[in-house]
Amino acid sequence: MGLLDGQVAAITFGSRSIGRGVAEAFLAEGASVVVNGRSADKGKAAVAEMVASGAGDRVHFIQGDASVQGDVEGVINGAVERFGRLDIAVLNQGGLKDTAPVASMTNEEWDFELNLNLTSIFWGMRAALQHLIPQESGRIINMSSLEGKRGTPGLPGYVAAKHGMIGLTKACAHEVGTKGIAVNAICPGLVITDLFKHTTEVLGLADLDAFGGPSGQRLGDPAPSHR
């Protein structure tokens, strides 16, 4: 028997990188999983690979953009529609497009990063709680970042959003902890994802190891990141 037998999880950005690692780990422990992503082709291909690896009909893909409220709510509600319940919501969405130091950052850049990295997390948490509170059980896991604990120059919007996510997580945890619901945030280390590679390009870092962290720090692989 797996640790998650009979449980249902919704995972945003769950068709690639860290989200896919989490999805595969949950499937291995017996959960049914709904994942979403922007690309229908890539999402369906990822699900086909998970099915071929033994997931069977316990995995389902819903196309959606994590910067759109209805799409974030759609993967949460879609898990209930597909499998009849929700036990775990992993809000893994996040990223940046263009960024700049505070002095030159535009309103559009700021709004984009706060919307994708913080407001969309709020949407997902609120949607999940509509299902978890009545059943008085469940778990919400928010994927923050090292930037939720530090302040890398050149990433003000992303840093502010990730700090805000941790604060939101703490507030919600106190609100629903007595209702049988756990709310936590994870701050992964330096994991080589598409976002990480894009960030090093934006900051002009030719060497991935120059991004920061303790000397000799090992960069992570998304596949085992669920551990």
Structural domain tally of the chain? 1
Contacts of 11 (CB under 8 A, 6+ apart): 19, 22, 23, 26, 33, 34, 35, 36, 75, 89, 90, 92
In this structure, what token pair is assigned to residue 22? 């989490």
User: Tell me: the pLDDT tens digits for 62-102?
Assistant: 999 999 999 999 999 999 999 999 999 999 999 888 889 99
Assess if residue 165 is contained within a domain.
yes
Assess if residue 223 is contained within a domain.
no
Average pLDDT, the chain: 89
User: Tell me: the pLDDT tens digits for 78-87?
Assistant: 999 999 999 9
Cα distance between residue 223 and residue 22, in whole Å: 8
CATH number at residue 61: 3.40.50.720
Decide if 96 contacts 199 (C-beta within 8 A): yes
Assess if residue 203 is contained within a domain.
yes
Which among 170, 73, 179 has a CA at the least distance from the CA of 127? Answer: 73
- Give the residue, 57 or 15, on which the prediction is more confident: 57
What was the pLDDT predicted at 226? 44
Assess if residue 225 is contained within a domain.
no
Q: How confident is the model at residue 215 (pLDDT cuts 50, 70, 90)?
A: very low
State the residue range of the domain holding 207: 8-211
Assess if residue 217 is contained within a domain.
no
Could you say which of 13, 26, 83, 158 is catalytic? 158
Assess if residue 226 is contained within a domain.
no
Residue 158 falls in the annotated catalytic set: yes
Residue 214 reports pLDDT greater than 70: no
User: Tell me: the pLDDT tens digits for 30-55?
Assistant: 999 999 999 999 999 999 999 999 99
Q: How confident is the model at residue 217 (pLDDT cuts 50, 70, 90)?
A: low
Assess if residue 219 is contained within a domain.
no
Residue 117 reports pLDDT greater than 70: yes
Assess if residue 2 is contained within a domain.
no
